[in-house]
Structure 1
Amino acid sequence: MAETLILILTEKIASALADQLEKQFDSLYGLQQELLTQVRGRMSQIKMEFEVIKGFLIYIGTRKENNEILDAWVKEVRELAFEAETIMDHYTYIWADQRHSSNVSRWYHINNQLQEISNRLHRLGEMKQQYDIKTTKGSQSKIAIERHQDLTRSSRVIDEETILGTEEYEKDLKSWLKGGQTDVAHSKRILISVSGPVGIGKTTLVSKVYRSTMIRESFGCRAWVNVSRTYKVEDLHRRIVRELFKGQKGEIPQRLDTMDSTELKKILDEFLGNMRYLIVLDDMRDQNVWKEKLENFIPDNNCGSRIIMTTQSVHVASLAGEDRIMQVKKLGEQDALYLFCRKAFQRHDTEECPTELMEQARNISKMCDGLPLAVVSMGNYLSLREKTILEWKKLEEDLNWILNNNVDFDLMKSVLKLSFDSLPGYLKTCFLYCGIFPDSHLIKRKRLIRLWIAEGFIQDRGRRTAEDVAEDNLHELIKRNMLEVQDTNDSGRVRTCKISAIMRQLIISKSEQEDFYVVFEDAEKSYEGNARRFSVKSSNNSIPFGISSIQNLRSWIHFGTGEPPLQSGFKLLRVLDLQGVPLIKGLPKEIFNLFNLHYLGLRNTSIKRLSTSIKRLVNLQTLDLAFTNIKELPDGIVKLRRLRHLFVYKIVDRTYQSFCYFLGFPALRGICDLKELHTLQSVEVSKDILRNLKKMSQLRSFRIMKVRAEHYSDLSKAIETMVNLRRLDIVGAKSDEALDMTCEIVPPQSLEKLTFRAKLMTLPTWISSLRNLAWVRLCWCSLPPEQDFLPSLGGLHSLVFLLLINAHNGSELSFKNGSFLRLKDLRIVDMKNLKEIKVESGALNELRHLNLVRCEGLTNAPKGILSLKNLENVHLENMKREFVDQLWQTESDNHPMLRAVNIVRQDSKWELKSLGKFRSNLMGYDDQNPENS
């Protein structure tokens, strides 16, 4: 953690020393310039010293040793880095505050503070020498390794007697291990991986199979080795040799502890010879440990040997062949409840839960998120407590304190902590930050990424943007099973994810210890501390007592409906996220003095206007005004040259059925000078924007509105220059005004999502050239009946989502053989003239979801629908009765894969016929809702 804080600090210093500030510096004279020369010199020196400290912290972070002196020294480093960060934020604040930047006394104060930081850095260096603070070799490293091994052994013993639902896993694993015992064709060594989240029971499962009589008798020798990234290569090789000799009850070779890897490999080759062996590599966390340290060290003697890796990481698991990867799933709700009750009532005559405690039992077992280790720990804890509702509610209501102050949870905390400690520094901070979101709150990918960047955790890296790097970090946390995906779009991209309740409580505790952030889910309690970030969940206007006195607050993230203290003196804020707070109708003038603000989130509030003073927020990166009451922006917006994401649109028709159900904002003169913009939604067309749009080469997501026929030629030329564009929405001025899109352009191949919400004379021919296009929305296009537009789309090999709202005036849609091979979601809405849908064999092979809404001319079920073997959901709304009855009969009788036929409203009555859970987005068929921006 400390090394990441230093990274943020050094990035801030580098930014302060950048060219933009150089120009301001050159304009100063006399005493100011002399002072600033000293200030900048000290900043450079401090940056260099912290860079060296960061390198040392990264090194000791790989050692995982217990050293109280070292821990105390690191704590001092962290506190000093916090103070230095505060000084840098004050520095930036003064530069941005043009009214006071020429105040000499302020620069004297900054200079003196930096001198004090330099002095304390020097003293920290002296302390390091005086107390011989360093990583220890030999014994300490060995102790850390043995502690890790003891922990793993404990974790596999504790659950073995209570492990549930593993019969199929055990059967498959034994089959993979037995294969090759006599079959020459399978005599090569095979690598097997068993993966899943921490606490899921991987080690327990493999241990149970490993120690079974059948497996013991199938191998000449076996070894169980706990793998940790703290091992040196010789340590790891030595462990394998020692465990194999011990397994055979052989004499351990002399000088084993002093041999190098070459000598160890020679001994291993001779020992294994033609023996069939089984080696378990438990808790493998890094692909390179196998590739660089073990793959060539462990011989493949063509005797049908097997190696099993247990791992959290999907990347590591992929080292095994696709047919030798075992993904251990979480317990279902009923299994988790059953296991919990077995443990909670283990000291009773019956393990059944009394009726009066069943609600609490369900709540507590759900908190465990299907992780057997958590379920067992909770059950063991409550087995020693009174069996009353009041006692069990204490665990629900004060989980954080109980987890941190009760020995019953020590093993679980150690296992979870080990998982966290194994993360590289750049992921630790990102993961800790996820605890800011409440338990019941799904974490939206796009929002999380923008917050990470605003906090300064992630920067641009070479030619890759910070957003791309953040996306990589998110995927890495998911691949490591630290975050769980809750929803994806049809392209497989993450929409929302979550963190388990138990892990969240542990990282909240760690964050509070390090003043990283504090979470208030009860705004009535008081606070005395110096946290940098607050997450407040409040349903009233009260705030934690004592908050207003905190001067170093960097982030305020608000959940709930209570109004936050917007007039408090948090002048160093970087993040102010008030999404969904309905009481906010305006911003006090103090907000516009937050010169360090990088993120202002006002989505889904009642704000009506912004002051022109917004221009003072010169560091702002994200301004989110989506689904507010703002109709226009002040001119000052164009002064925000660091702005990356700008969302402004208002819903005016909550039925989402009208052509103009949402409004954008009139384009400001000069808005195209915001060259850092990645997202611009939703701007109305103007001559200025058409003339200068080519300047915005960084745009990734662009929605332009009120486009008329005379605009399209200039707009299409500008689109050609937007080489990074991934999403493009073109919205016409009127539903009956047609756009002529016959002009030929070379569109950016980066396009992934395309929306036309306008009447079209013809579908642009260039669409068929977009090899990365995954989503297409044709809304109110009213294409002529004679134009068969589907062939232009059917050959798009990346297309997974197609929405047609009043898209075509023809009477037939025909999906030809070999077309739309990857399409998963097809939505057909308001096609008034449509009388027939044909699906030829070999079309729509991957279709999962079919929506038919207000297509009143359809009376017969789509021809060929029975050929869609992967169809899961059919959603029908306001369709003719005869169509509904026919489709229902056809599907339920003849389509075994179908899970649901969902009928929302029929003949003015609500009616539901369902074969299972239905997955559909009923809020806005064009997918332009708060969940997707």
Structure 2
Amino acid sequence: MADSVISLVIGRIVDLLKKNSVFLKDVERQVERLGNDLEWMRCFLKDAEQRQDEDARIRNWVSLVRAAAYDAEDVIEIFASKVEFFTKDKGLITKLTYYPLKIVNLYKIGKEIESLGMRLKEIADSREEYGINNLGEGITTHGEELQRIRRSSPFSEDKDIVGFEKITKFLVAELMKEDRNRRVVSIVGMGGAGKTTLAKKVYNHADVRARFNCRAWVCVSSSYDHKEVLRSIIKQLNTISKELLEVLEKMEEQDLEQRLYQDLQDKCYLVVLDDVWNEEAWDCLARAFPDVNTSSRLLLTSRNRGVPLHADALSIPYELKTLGQEDSWQLFLRKALGHGDNSGCPLDLEEVGREIARRCGGLPLAITVIGGLLLTKKRLKSEWEKVLNSFNTNLSRSQSGVSAILELSYADLPANLKFCFLYLGLFPEDYVISVCKLIHMWVAEGIMQKRDAENLEEIAAYDVEQLFSRNMIQAAEMTVDERIKSCRVHDLLRELAIRKAEDENFFQIHDTRDDEISAKSRYLAVHILHRDKNYFGTSTPPLRSLLFFNVHGYGENISLSIKSFGKLRILDLENVKMGNLPKEIGEVRLLRYLGLRDTSITRLPHSFGCLRYLQTLDIRNIKQVIVSNFIWKLESLRHLYANRIGSNAPLKIEGLRNLQTLSGMHFDDIMHNNMITLTSLQKLGILVDDRSEMDKLCMHLSEVGSLKTLHLYCTERRLWLSLAGLSKLRHVTELKLSGELRMLPPDFPPNLSRLSLKHTLLKDDPMPILGKLGQLSFLKMKVAYGGSQLVISRHGFHQLKFLELNSLYDLDEINVEKGALPQLRCLRIRECNSLKKLPEELKHISSLDALELVDMRVDFISGLDADMVSGVPNLRISFTERSRRLSLLEQITAHARVIRAAVLFQPAAQPS
């Protein structure tokens, strides 16, 4: 990581020095020397990347360089922000008034840069003392050799499971045994052996779904929160509502246990407890699972054989062995070459390939990760031999083969991807990470290097794809167009990120009440809150990122001293209970990302206008957030997320050339601004009501050439709003309409390809009109139509690829004419309770690849036509509410054979 992280920091410093050369001209000599010293240091760091794992002295030396580089960046950025504050947008008299302060700050930065120069000289002189005096001289490192241009791979479902067929049948049979008592069926094995993958396969099995009318899945993990585990199971067994969430949040452990016990006591249930680390965790949970002669089962996975034996002494745990030689080879081929079944390996690669597969020791995780690495290489024997040789080197340093493979895969990452991967270690174990949020954080960190015409967010999204293609992250949720919406990190890979980062004091995770905040921490993730009001004690670490996770159950408002955060770039307080932000928040001038989602904050202080570097502001709260007229001052702002922004006067936003996303703005605020000046605006969400003149709004937005997505929120019930004028929006390709409309707009943007209708409560069948939108490829309708019939004509929807019908409660028939929907790839029907059957014409749509049925009535599922089922490659059925599962056993058994033959079942809730 030495070359990766520090080189990025040094590169940013050099850019800063150039950018602020006008401000720094009076200390030009010191600045030039600082830049030269840092560039010189970077040359030596290229070799330190490889050698620091071998020698603690080198790690110490690298740590000194890193601290100096970070301090240099902080000094220059803080100075630049102060000078901008003194001079930008000020009149002549004000500038003259501030001139003495500018001179004082120039003197101070000169002294600080001079001090940094002396410090770098001492670090350079200490190389001989640390025994690294020849560092970097004429050596070509393995890291340089491995860092080649990467190629992306397409997203697809991971179907590369091998060797689990017999095991799956055995475990399913164990779950189906005739035994009225509650039994525990267990899978044990080392990390990376595939326990979770196998458990999913069993959980999704058709016979299992037919047997148990009540199911849930929860990941326990090594640092589990007992109350959160109980809440997670309860949520899967009940219809989710605001009232339920509020009640669960207030419940203590004993109350939650009692509630879960009551939910399960008369059910034949199956609950998966994935990744249980110790007996204490089982003992805490076991009380909530009734044993009342209903043939219920618990499926448990653990690394510790003692846990399942403790849970059920009469049930022998299945010990998941490593893959055999042939299964390992087949999985290796799929991952390293992207081959399917029965595909061979090029003859010149087979020998070295089999040796690499053998070194993986039969561990699916190891094979998957090393395969992802090889997939980025040229298919040359010399390339594969380099990987094998590097693997041998890492193996000599590591305790196990899987550790060596993970180390090698990390070493192969380019510098920016190493930083991105390490940053993932800040998130809790098994945490579902929003990719959008992650991208904004990476951009705020300055990791992205702009390439060609791409914007920074596109580059960051590409890097997410690269980590996925290398199997360094797992996709938790995909979008319709097969982009990663959220992701997870396997616990072994997370442990690698934490180990690498902590070795070099890169970040700190605060996850026990006894943890002390290190005075050297630059990146801090808080996973547990102290009751102590003085959270940081006497420590004032030079934090750049401060992230809070899973602390929404904390009973009191927390307060943070802004004086401790002068160097902070990222502050994420999502779900943290707090009254209001400190008035001095504007003093954190380097802040680039501020997450205040679900914090109950209702007002932003006036000092916000000083945050000129702020890029992302997320204030999506239940209540309206009052904002004074300072947004126009946030010249670096790229994304502003809000549900509803309130103000006493029209908000000025014009001139924000970097703004890409803007939501929660009122119609009047939009109309008071010259929107053409927002030259980067791509996504816009507007609150409209019956006073909003939509035709004028569309004319107002028609010249915003960058605008692609428009979301109109109708803010009042029973408001029949006219939406005339949408045809003027030639640049808009995605339109979202939310709120009661009763009738469709008279026109639409001419280049519209994506349309979402939510709570529109249309009276007439919208399909005849929507079918005429020639470029429409995506249509989503939720509580959008109150009629009983939809008719899809053969004359329309020629480009439609995705169709979702969600919560159309009165819909009982879908009529699809012959030849209609010729391009349809995915049809999703969710909670349409009156629908009697699927349209017959579906079986003739050859392009249909996926049919997803979510929360549909079980008699609808049991009545599926066998011919139709067999004609769809992927039919996914999932139930997420208790009411949809209660009579599953009685109504679906007769059709289990048909469904087993053609349905790919998904779990009711993905592991969390």
TM-score range, shorter chain: 0.5 to 0.7
Pair 1:833–1:119, CA change in 2 (3 A): closer
User: Which residue in 2 is equivalent to 1:605?
Assistant: 599
Relative to 1, partners in 2 of residues 1:564 and 1:573: Cα closer, same or farther, differing over 3 Å? farther
User: Helix, strand or coil: the match of 1:428?
Assistant: helix
Q: Deviations over 1:859-891 (max 9, x none)?
A: 5653434556645432356x8xxxx74663234
Is the contact made by 1:10 and 1:50 (CA closer than 8 Å) also made in structure 2? no
The structure-2 alpha-carbon separation of the partners of 1:85 and 1:190, relative to structure 1 and needing over 3 Å to count, comes to same
1:560 aligns with 2:550: yes
Q: Secondary structure at the match of 1:595?
A: coil
Q: Is contact 1:873–1:919 with CA below 8 Å preserved after alignment?
A: no
Match of 2:828, as an amino acid?
L
Q: Distance in 1 between matches of 2:454 and 2:750?
A: 28
Does residue 1:204 correspond to 2:186, yes or no? Answer: no
Alpha-carbon distance in 1 for matches of 2:648, 2:906: 37
After superposition, the C-alpha distances for 1:893-920 in whole angstroms (9 at most, x for unaligned) are 9625644264958799998977788769
Counterpart CA distance in 1 for 2:655 and 2:333 is: 64
Instruction: State the Cα deviation string for residues 695-732 of structure 1 (Å, max 9, x = none).
Output: 11211221111155863333333444333334321234
Distance of 1:282 and 1:901 partners within structure 2: 30
CA distance in 2, matches of 1:847, 1:823: 5
In structure 2, the CA distance between the partners of 1:428 and 1:615, relative to structure 1 (3 Å rule), is same
Deviation of residue 572 (structure 1)? Answer: 1.8
Shift of residue 407 of structure 1?
9.2
Identify if the C-alpha distance between structure 1 residues 69 and 861 changes in structure 2 by more than 3 Å, giving closer, same or farther.
closer
Separation (CA, whole Å) in 2 of partners of 1:544 and 1:165: 55
Aligned to 1:5: 6
Tell me which amino acid in the other structure corresponds to 2:862. Answer: W
Aligned partner of 2:877 in structure 1 is: 900
| 1:164 and 2:323 aligned | yes
Unaligned runs of 5+ in 1: 26-35, 146-157, 178-185, 209-279, 299-306, 313-372, 374-403, 651-662, 924-930
After TM superposition, the structure 1 stretch with the greater mean CA deviation from structure 2, 515-524 or 89-98, is 89-98
The residue identity in structure 2 corresponding to 1:164 is: L
Residue 620 (structure 1) aligned with residue 614 (structure 2): yes
For the Cα contact (< 8 Å) 1:665–1:683, is it kept in 2?
no
Aligned match of 1:274: none
- Corresponding residue SS for 1:840: coil
Aligned residues of 1:487 and 1:497 also touching (Cα < 8 A) = yes
Q: 2:769 aligns with which of 783, 789, 810?
A: 789
TM-score, with length taken from structure 2: 0.64
In the alignment, which of 84, 88, 93 is matched to residue 76 of structure 2? 88
Matched residue, 2:305: none
1:58, 1:425 within 8 Å by CA — same for their partners in 2?
A: no
Counterpart check, 1:431 vs 2:408: no
Q: CA offsets, 1:353-391, max 9 Å, x none?
A: xxxxxxxxxxxxxxxxxxxx9xxxxxxxxxxxxxxxxxx
By how many angstroms is 1:577 displaced? 0.5
String of CA shifts for 1:742-784, please: whole Å, max 9, x gaps.
56436227x35644656386556554634xx355336517375
Please list the CA deviations of residues 566-606 of structure 1 after superposition, one character each: whole Å capped at 9, or x if unmatched: 1262222111111111x212122343321221111110111
CA contact (8 A) 1:64 1:144 kept: no
Q: Percent identity?
A: 20
Aligned CA distance change for structure 1 residues 60 and 567 (closer, same or farther; 3 Å): closer
Alignment coverage as a number of residue pairs: 687
1:497 and 1:667, CA in 2 relative to 1: closer, same or farther beyond 3 A? farther
Cα distance, 1:737–1:828 mapped onto 2, change above 3 Å: same
Q: Give the partner amino acid of 1:805.
A: V
- Tell which structure's C-alpha radius of gyration is larger: 1
Structure 2 regions of 5+ residues with no counterpart?
87-96, 146-191, 194-319, 337-342, 363-369, 893-898
In structure 2, the CA distance between the partners of 1:16 and 1:437, relative to structure 1 (3 Å rule), is same
Aligned counterparts, 1:408-807, within 5 A: 409=399, 411-458=401-448, 460-461=450-451, 463-538=453-528, 541-542=531-532, 548-561=538-551, 562=554, 564-567=558-561, 569-581=564-576, 583-649=577-643, 668-686=650-668, 689=671, 691-706=673-688, 711-732=693-714, 734=716, 735-741=718-724, 744-745=727-728, 747-748=730-731, 751-752=733-734, 754-755=736-737, 757=739, 759=741, 762-763=744-745, 767=749, 769-770=751-752, 773-774=753-754, 776-777=756-757, 779-780=759-760, 782=762, 784=764, 788-793=768-773, 795-796=774-775, 799-807=777-785
CA distance in 1, matches of 2:703, 2:455: 19
- Equivalent position SS for 1:703: strand
CA separation in 1, counterparts of 2:909 and 2:412?
41
Q: Give secondary structure in 2 for the equivalent of 1:503.
A: helix
Q: Which SS does the other structure have where 1:895 is aligned?
A: helix
| Structure 1 residue 494, shift from structure 2 partner | 0.5
The answer to whether the 8 Å contact 1:638/1:673 transfers is yes
Cα distance in 2 for residues equivalent to 1:775 and 1:709: 24
Q: Aligned letter for 2:358?
A: T
2:890 aligned with 1:890, yes or no?
Answer: no
Change (3 A) 1:643 1:686: same
Structure 2 residue matching 1:525: 3-state secondary structure: coil
The one-letter code of the counterpart of 2:722 is L
Alignment of 1:115 with 2:89, yes or no, is: no
Distance 2:144 2:909 in 1: 54
The alpha carbon displacement at 1:626 in A equals 0.6
Distance 2:18 2:371 in 1: 48
Deviations 1:801-831 (A, max 9, x none): 5225334868432253884666345124447
* Distance in 2 between residues matched to 1:486 and 1:726, nearest whole Å: 27
Give the Å deviation of 1:424: 1.3
TM-score (norm: length of structure 1) = 0.62
Bigger Cα displacement from structure 2, 496-505 vs 441-450: 496-505
Change (3 A) 1:825 1:809: closer
Counterparts of 1:143 and 1:622, CA distance in 2: 34
* 2:832 pairs with 1:862: no
Alignment of 1:5-84 (within 5 A): 5-12=6-13, 14-15=15-16, 18=19, 22=22, 37-55=25-43, 57-58=45-46, 61=49, 73-84=61-72
CA gap of 1:134–1:526, structure 2 versus 1, over 3 A, is closer
Greater mean alpha carbon deviation, residues 909-918 or residues 638-647 = 909-918
Give a deviation string over 1:425-484, Cα, whole Å, max 9, x none.
111111100000000311110111111122222254453222112112111111222112
User: Which structure has the higher relative contact order (CA within 8 Å, separation 6+)?
Assistant: 2
Cα separation, 1, equivalents of 2:613 and 2:371: 49
Separation in 1 of the partners of 2:497 and 2:371?
28
Tell me the SS of whatever aligns to 1:414.
helix
Between the aligned partners of 1:847 and 1:756, the Cα distance in structure 2 is: 25
CA contact (8 A) 1:518 1:531 kept: yes
1:608 positional shift: 1.9
Aligned-partner SS, 1:423? coil
- Describe the shift of the 1:708–1:54 C-alpha distance in structure 2 as closer, same or farther (beyond 3 A): farther
Change in 2 beyond 3 A, CA 1:168/1:310: farther
Deviation at 1:116, TM superposition (A): 1.8
